[in-house]
Amino acid sequence: MPILERLLSWLRGPKLSDLNRKLEIVCRKLELESLRLDKQAKNNRVKAKKARLEGDEQAAKTYINHYLKFKNSILEIDSYRLGIEELLVDLKMNEAVSDVSKILGNLKYVINVVKNRIRIPDLTKTLEEIDKSMKHISGAKDLAENRILSITKTSQIQQEDVQKILNEIDQEIAVETEKSLPEPSSKISELEKEIEEMKESNV
Does residue 82 have a pLDDT over 90? Answer: no
Alpha-carbon gap, residue 68 to 119, rounded angstroms: 19
pLDDT digits (tens, 9 = 90+) for 150-190: 454 555 788 888 999 999 999 988 888 877 666 555 555 66
Alpha-carbon gap, residue 69 to 154, rounded angstroms: 10
pLDDT digits (tens, 9 = 90+) for 107-139: 777 787 787 777 777 777 788 777 776 665 555
The whole-chain average pLDDT of the chain stands at 75
How would residue 51 be classed by pLDDT, with cut points 50, 70 and 90? very high
CATH match for 3-202 among 3.50.50.60, 1.20.1260.60, 3.40.50.300, 3.40.50.2300:
1.20.1260.60
How would residue 102 be classed by pLDDT, with cut points 50, 70 and 90? confident
How would residue 68 be classed by pLDDT, with cut points 50, 70 and 90? very high
Measured at the CA of 26, the angle between CA 23 and CA 28, to 5 degrees, comes to 115
- Give the torsion through C-alpha atoms of 111, 85, 28, 66, to 10 deg: 70
CA-nearest of 55, 79, 40, 89 to 166 is 55
Q: For 199, which DSSP code? A: H
Task: Give the 3-state secondary structure percentages of the chain, helix then strand then coil, rounded to 5.
Answer: 80, 0, 20
With a threshold of 0.85, does the pTM exceed it?
Answer: no
Phi, psi of 84 (to 5 degrees): -65, -45
Q: How far is CA 79 from the centre of its chain?
A: 8
Give the ranges where 118-158 is alpha helix by DSSP (H): 121-133, 142-148
- 97-131 CB burial, b ≥16 within 10 A, e <16: eeebbbbbbbbbbbbbbbbeebebeebeebbeebe
